[in-house]
Every structure is written in C-alpha cells, then in structure tokens.
Amino acid sequence: MARLNRSPSPWRWAALGLAGLYFLVPLAASVVFTVDVPGRGLTFDAYTKILTTDGFVTSLLLSLGLAAVTIAVVLLLMVPAMVALRLGAPRLRPVVEAVCSLPLVVPPIAFVAGLGTVLRWGPEHLSRTPLFQTFVALQNPDFPVVLVLAYVVMALPFVHRALDAGLAAIDVRTLVEAARSCGAGRVQALVSAVLPNLRGALMNASFLTLALVLGEYTVAQLLGFRPFAVWIVNISGSQAQMSVAVSVLSLLVTWLLLLALAGAGGRRRTRTSEA
C-alpha cells in the first residue's frame, strides 16, 4: 500500500509557534537585560564575572554534590522496590504509587516546617545521647545531609513515574527467570538483566532529580543552607544582572543535558533496531 503523505496541520504549527514564543521571549528578554547596560551599550561583564563572584563555585559544587547523592539514594531505594512489586506484589502497586505521590500533595512550606520542628526537637531532647551528634552531622553546612533526605522525598513522584514507565515496557519476570536459570543470583539478575533494559528510565529519573535539586529553593532557604538556587536569589538584590545571567546559563545547561539525554536515547534505539 502506498504511504499517505499528510502535511502538518496549520493548527499544529500555530500551537508550536505559540509554545516557542512562550519560552523564547522571556529568555530573550533575560539575555538582553544581562548584556544591555544603559550608557555603555552591549557588554558581557555579567557573564565574565560569574566565575570570580564569591560563593558561585562553592554553591554550585554543593548543589551538584547534593544532586549526585540524591540520585544515588533515590535509585537505590526505588529500583529494587519497583522490581519487587512487579515480581511478587503487584497488588501493592496502587499503595506505593499513592505513597510516592504524597510529596505532590504536601506543600513545600509545610514539609520544611515539619523538618524544622524535628531538627529543633532532636538537639533539645537528645543532647545527652549519642544521637545528638547524628543531628549535628545532618545539618553540617559543608554538606547538609538533611537536604539529601528532603530531596529524596521530593523526587519520589518523578522517579516513580519514570521507573514505572520503563518497567511497563519490558517483561521483568521473564528477564529475571532467564538470568536465574543461567545461575545468577537475585542481585546479579537485577544488575545484569533488568538494569540494562532500564537505561532510558534511569536516565530520565536522574535528569528529573538533577533538575529538581538544582532549582529547589524553599527547603534550603528555610533550613538556612546556601546551595546554588539560594545563592542566585541572595545576589539578585545587589547584582541583578549577574543573577539573571546565572539563571540563563543554568537554563541553557539544563536544556543541553535534556538534548544529550534525548540524543543518547535515540542512538540506543537506532542501534537496537539495526541489530
């Protein structure tokens, strides 16, 4: 049968054009604001001074470190749990889905208020116990572990959705049984048979978690820490152009990561289809 060539609908191009304007116009206005200085014309000082600004490198490295640990922890928690649900407890999937969706229901301000109450209660009532040092270590400003715990909870809805979609596209039970029949243990079957087929889902979950950590402000600010998002807001009062320049660069880096992720997934699908 001859393939029907259908030209794209004008409404589709109109919708895409409006969506592009919605995203590109604010970005273009931000770029113009950072390079157009009244009385001086075009200048890129706002971008060239970023690396030498106090706190930029420290806050960025802190956010990247928090993101890396958060990604590792949430995947170590969710991947075995999601695979176990598929294999042995499918009836519990709605319960796990509801629990993982709770961070979308609880406002961040209420979440951080609860965290703050617990962090204040611990040192007051456990000052004479070994747990006192645990609360101190959780709030170490050099690397606040409490932020990792908070970000893990906040990332659960996104990681759950990404992994659930990835697991729905493969036959987990058949893969595990085939690996076990070849002599692999449970952990080895998970690592060698299931994880390679979840590469796309793992990348999506990692990217969403990275974007969440880099852009999160409320929890870090109210708990008194200074990662990258908090640093941007703090310098916005005295160096507005530089704060917008940093935001533009952060957005561009995020887009580049998304494009790289999409390109890697496309190349992998092409190799699979050719094989």
Confidence of residue 2 (pLDDT cuts 50, 70, 90): very low
Residues facing residue 37 across a β-bridge: 41
- Provide the pLDDT for residue 71: 93
All residues at 6 or more sequence positions from 84 whose CB lies less than 8 Å from its CB, including other chains: none
Is 80 in a helix, a strand, or coil? helix
Q: What is the pLDDT of residues 121-151, one digit of tens each?
A: 777 767 677 777 777 778 888 899 999 999 9
All residues at 6 or more sequence positions from 190 whose CB lies less than 8 Å from its CB, including other chains: 79, 80, 83, 176
Domains and CATH numbers, the chain: 54-233 (1.10.3720.10)
More confident residue, 267 or 18: 18
Report how far apart, in Å, the C-alpha atoms of 91 and of each of 111, 219, 267 are. Answer: 29, 34, 36
Lowest mean pLDDT, pick from 10-24, 85-99, 227-241: 227-241
Q: What is the pLDDT of residues 71-86, one digit of tens each?
A: 999 999 999 999 888 8
- Provide the pLDDT for residue 75: 94
Distance in angstroms (rounded) separating the CA atoms of residues 188 and 179? 8
β-pair type (36-37, 41-42): antiparallel
Residue pair 138/144 in contact by the 8 Å Cβ criterion: yes
Q: What is the pLDDT of residues 207-255, one digit of tens each?
A: 889 889 988 898 999 988 999 888 888 877 667 777 788 888 777 777 7
- Provide the pLDDT for residue 159: 93
Own/partner contacts of 23-30, CB < 8 Å, gap of 24 or more, are 27/248, 27/251, 30/244, 30/247, 30/248
Distance in angstroms (rounded) separating the CA atoms of residues 268 and 266? 5
